[in-house]
Every structure is written in structure tokens, then in C-alpha cells.
Structure 1
């Protein structure tokens, strides 16, 4: 009986030894952004593993309450899955059933960092293992600059910063010209990339190099330090004040002449539109009409000669009653240019002219 029990245990142990097994690997998976990385998952099968081969790769969720995300599977042929690695993951071997379930991830991203699990099943055998992938970014776009006045006796900082790069980053400074060593008064902060220099002197002038580094790469930049004597601040300030005053004076003179020119133009316009007092006003219509009637009467009597009063009665009435209203209404500038003949007073009496009294007028043409 004891012999039979021993034989049964030996058979079971041999079966377990010959079952599906994943080969161990102590490799650290550290990739660089933009490059490729192979995650190993190799296995062996036993005679007893007669079922269908099924391979699955998962991206393990960082939170235990979330489900793991399948990224690729194999069941007779590869089945890439949707997700963050879509189009960037594939099996290394074209025949994973031969014992190589490793995958390759191309164009790595920093977000690909995480834990990956490989599961291989061929019933009755089933095994899985997990690997950790870390993706880093090389330092890049490192910039150097100087903070502070580059004058003798002043304190200043040489600063260095990498725009890209995975933490942790470290910075180192070197002087690569002249005396190739850092100033004795200089201190370096390797975590933030600052080279602090106290009481600068001209001996500190030269070219400095900063190197940014992490576990997957490095980058560098250069900066030139020129320590000069202090500038004449008082002279600069005095020159600035004098220049400002001269500018204000010139500006004031220009404004004065512009205002004066504007006033002269305005005065000339007012003179052109001003009515002069020595120009005589136009004569009134009444005086013009009366003078016109009187002149017509005188001319009519002179033309009649020795006509009798009876014959003159009808003739004079017709002529006297006919006064052209349109011509009387016209201003003096539009009245006909009629100049009565000059006849002496005695001759007018002989011709039977009737004396007419014309009222006196003042300068503006109104009757007094």
C-alpha cells in the first residue's frame, strides 16, 4: 500500500514538472521615449497541454478597483486591441505557439510606464507573470542664462534649465575657457542648476558649460560671462535728465510757433469777411424812383418846346403815369444807365417845367 502511494505522488510531481511553464527573467525594462522596447514572455509546454493555445497581454490598472486593460491577444492569430497602445504593439515572433509570447512596443511614450501582465493558457496548463516598464525622456532644450549685473564686486547667478527630461535631473557646471576651474566664491545647486557667484571679478570672465543629465541621457548649453568695471550711473542719469529737458524745450517751441501760425490764419480769414465802414450803403428805392420821375419830367418838357398847356395835358399824363415798376424795383446796380441832359434852371421855366421839391436825405438814403 505504501509503495502504491509513493508511485502516485511521483507521477503527479512529474506531471507538474512537465506542465506549461513561463521562463523567468530578471531583466529591467527601462525604455526611452521614441524608441522601442521588448517585453519578454517565453514558455514551455508539456505533453499533457493539449488544449487551444491562448495568449493575452494586459496593462495592469494602477487602482485595484479598476479592470486591467487588454492590449493584444493570440488565438491562432494576433488580435491587437484598442487602447493607448493601438498600432504600436505586436508579437515579436510570427509563430507565438512555438514558445515565444514576447511583445514589442514601438514609439514609446512616457505614459506607457506601468505594469504589464502576460497570460499563457493551454489546457490544462495556465501561467502568467508581470513585468514593470519605465519609460524616460532624455534631457533636451537645455538653456543657459545669466541673472544679475556682470560688474566687478556684484553677486550674480548662472542658471541652467532643461525644458524636457524625466526626473530626477541633475546639473553640473564647468568653465571651459581661461583658467578651467570654477571661481573660488562659486557654489553649485545640482538639483536646480544654479551657479551662484559672489563678489565677481574680471578673472571670472569666460565661457561656462552646463550639463543636464538623467538616467537615460544628457544635454548641455553654453554661456559667456563678461565681468566689467561698474558703469558711471550718475553721468548716465544726468545725461538722461538733460536730454529730456532739451526735448521738452524743443517741443514747447514747436507748439508755440504752431499756435501762432494758427492765430495768424484765423485773423486773415476774419479780415477778409469784415465789412468796411467807408463803403457807401445802397440808395433806397423811394429816392431812386423819385429821381427817375423828376428826370423824365424834365426831359419831357424840354422835348415839348412851345406846346400849349392843353396839348401837354394829355401827353404829360400819359408819360407821367407810365412808370416801369420792374426797373424801379431793381437795385441801383441793375437800374438802366440813364443820364439826363443838363439844363439850366431859367431854361426849364421857359419850357414850362413844373418845380418839384425833393426831400433831403441823409447818408444812408433815408428821408429826413
Structure 2
């Protein structure tokens, strides 16, 4: 019985001759940074097999297979494999010296998980699991104010980070003026909202919000300016008066434009009537000549015996009323239908024309 127990102890010692140094089992990294996962080992003299080092990303679902991310086997490193391809490598240039630790660069939040280091050098074999959590620092933090910044009003100073791993906490500070928070200010549980009641001008100033989690912080600033309540009635009255003045000016402009258009239209109509209805005036000399010519033509049938008396007529005298009359109203003396009284009124001398027989002799 004692021999059997001794053999079991020897077998257990032989199978566990390879040892892994105790180290941390929980690691935290920052997105975009890098992290080293420790895995150091010691080989016993009886471990004579080939050294084989394997790293796995353990599947969260037990029904899925673990994924190998790097491997050292027969003095060859295989690192361009698995989900961390190109971002993982051994810390030691030669892992045979007892350091199987790896470094992961360009960390991403998706790298969070459980990793397993497995070292074998038969007959020895050991493995351990490490938990990695990748956090995101607070980023894109914005400060703003909600509510009217007027005396006696309630308002809220708000702070929010669009990026950052939970839990995120916020804190407010006043960094100008009295450099202390308003007496009526209260913060919500996370600290992101600072409510201010019954604001006064003493609350005006610059405020700083700090957003933080376990891996980093970020700040933002906001300026609070509390002013007196504006005269609403005066603003409304001013707006109404301004609107009325605008309407009046607009009406005057429209009226002037319409009047101008009517005047232009009237001038065009007058010019058109003058061109259509009024004949151009003629000279006095031409009127006199036409009058004398008309008398000659009307008396051309006189016989030679009567020319003596007719020569006494004043042919060269044109009545003054004919010269003074405009061309449009001058009588047409050529017309044979002009009556005798009218001729006398115009200054003509009556002449007796003797009767003639058929052969043209005077009767």
C-alpha cells in the first residue's frame, strides 16, 4: 500500500513538473492602447518533450470552440492567425527562455474577454486563464444650458459624453467669479445635470464639467450669463410700430409708382392725338397765292370786252381775315358753289358778264 502511494506521488510530481508563475488574472486596458498578458513558466529537468505554447481567446458560449490567437511550436512562431491577426506578438524574442507573455496593441472594446495561456513540454503541461477588460475613455464631452438665463428663472447646466465606458460620473465646478456653486444648485445622481433655481446675476460665470470613468477623464466649459428680464410689452409695441411704418412706406411707394405710370400713359395719348388730328400749318404767302389763283380761274371765261373793267379789281389785295385764319378754316374760293353774298363779304367786286349766243357772240 505504501509503495502504491509513493508511485502515485512520483507520477503527480512528474506530470506537474512544469510550473507557471502566479500573476494577475485580471487586466484592464484602454481602447487604442496596448496591454501585456503575463504567462511565465519554469521547466523541470524531466520535461524533455518539445516546447509548445498556445494562446486562446475563450469563447463566451461554451458550445463554441476557443479561437487560437498565437502559437509557438518547434521553435517557430505563428502569430498571423485568429481574430487578433497583426495585433498580437510574444514579449520575449525567444519564448524558450521561460516567458510566454504576449502583448496586444491597438486595443478595441471588442477585445474584452477571457484569454488562456497553455504551455506544454511533455510530460509537463500547465495552463491558466486571464480576464481582459478594455475600457473607453470619456470622449466628445459637451456642456450646454437649458432654460432662460434670466433673473428669477430656473435653469439647468448639463454635461454629456458621447463616448466612454460605463460607469461614467460627472462633477461641476465654478471657475470664475465667486468660484463656488450657487446655493440653490443641486445635481442628479450621476452629476451630469446641475439644476439651478431662482437664478441671480451672482450665478453668472464660467462652469467646468469633468467626465470620468476608471480609465480617464475629459472636461468641457460653459458660460452662464444671468440677465434682467426683458421688457416684453415694449418689445411688442416696438414690433407693431415698426410693422405699421413699413406698411405705410410700402403703400406710399406703390401709390407713387401707380401715379407715375398714369402720367406716362397720358403723355403718350396726347402725343398720339396731335399726330393724328392736327395738320401742319401753311405759310401766308402760299395762302395768298392760292386765293389769287382761284380768282383767276373762276374769271377765266370773261370776254376781252370786259377785261377793262375787271382789271380795276384789286386782285393783289388779299383780305386780312384770310391771312389771319388758320389753314384749316380758310374758305375754298375755287368752289363754283360759293354764293354771291359771300363773295361780297370777302371783298370781291361784282362783275356783269354779258350773255352769249351759241356761236359765242355777245347778245
TM-score by length of 2: 0.70
CA distance in 1, matches of 2:59, 2:9: 40
Q: Cα distance, 1:192 vs. partner?
A: 5.6
Note closer, same or farther for the CA distance 1:54–1:255 as it changes in structure 2 (3 Å cut).
Answer: farther
Note closer, same or farther for the CA distance 1:9–1:229 as it changes in structure 2 (3 Å cut).
Answer: same
- Give the structure 1 partner of residue 100 of structure 2: 101
Question: Would the aligned equivalents of 1:172 and 1:190 in 2 still touch at CA under 8 Å?
Answer: no
- Give the structure 1 partner of residue 340 of structure 2: none
Question: Would the aligned equivalents of 1:205 and 1:226 in 2 still touch at CA under 8 Å?
Answer: yes
Per-residue CA distance 1:197-255 (angstroms, 9 max, x = gap): 11112232233221111111112222232222211111111111111221122122223
CA distance in 2, matches of 1:273, 1:70: 104
- Give the structure 1 partner of residue 353 of structure 2: none
Note closer, same or farther for the CA distance 1:52–1:258 as it changes in structure 2 (3 Å cut).
Answer: farther
Question: Would the aligned equivalents of 2:171 and 2:191 in 1 still touch at CA under 8 Å?
Answer: no
- Give the structure 1 partner of residue 172 of structure 2: 173
Question: Would the aligned equivalents of 2:15 and 2:124 in 1 still touch at CA under 8 Å?
Answer: no
5+ residue gaps, structure 1: 281-341, 349-359, 361-368
- Give the structure 1 partner of residue 10 of structure 2: 11
CA distance in 2, matches of 1:3, 1:28: 42
Q: Cα distance, 1:127 vs. partner?
A: 2.7
The match for 1:64 among 52, 57, 62 is 62
Judge which range, 255-264 or 25-34, deviates more: 255-264
- Give the structure 1 partner of residue 42 of structure 2: 44
Question: Would the aligned equivalents of 1:171 and 1:190 in 2 still touch at CA under 8 Å?
Answer: no
Question: Would the aligned equivalents of 2:14 and 2:123 in 1 still touch at CA under 8 Å?
Answer: no
- Give the structure 2 partner of residue 232 of structure 1: 231
Note closer, same or farther for the CA distance 1:230–1:99 as it changes in structure 2 (3 Å cut).
Answer: same
TM-score by length of 1: 0.70
CA distance in 1, matches of 2:149, 2:136: 35
- Give the structure 2 partner of residue 144 of structure 1: 143
- Give the structure 1 partner of residue 318 of structure 2: none
Q: Cα distance, 1:270 vs. partner?
A: 5.7
Per-residue CA distance 1:293-350 (angstroms, 9 max, x = gap): xxxxxxxxxxxxxxxxxxxxxxxxxxxxxxxxxxxxxxxxxxxxxxxxx8664389xx
- Give the structure 2 partner of residue 134 of structure 1: 133
1:346 equivalenced with 2:344 (yes/no): no
Q: Cα distance, 1:123 vs. partner?
A: 3.0
Q: Cα distance, 1:172 vs. partner?
A: 1.0
CA distance in 2, matches of 1:270, 1:85: 94
CA RMSD of aligned residues (A): 3.1
1:261-300 counterparts in 2 under 5 A? 261-266=260-265, 268=267, 278=277
Note closer, same or farther for the CA distance 1:254–1:61 as it changes in structure 2 (3 Å cut).
Answer: farther
Note closer, same or farther for the CA distance 1:129–1:266 as it changes in structure 2 (3 Å cut).
Answer: farther
Per-residue CA distance 1:48-75 (angstroms, 9 max, x = gap): 4333222222222223333322222222
- Give the structure 2 partner of residue 33 of structure 1: 31
Question: Would the aligned equivalents of 2:87 and 2:105 in 1 still touch at CA under 8 Å?
Answer: yes
Question: Would the aligned equivalents of 1:161 and 1:192 in 2 still touch at CA under 8 Å?
Answer: no
CA distance in 1, matches of 2:263, 2:122: 112
CA distance in 2, matches of 1:69, 1:266: 94
Judge which range, 265-274 or 95-104, deviates more: 265-274
Judge which range, 167-176 or 75-84, deviates more: 75-84
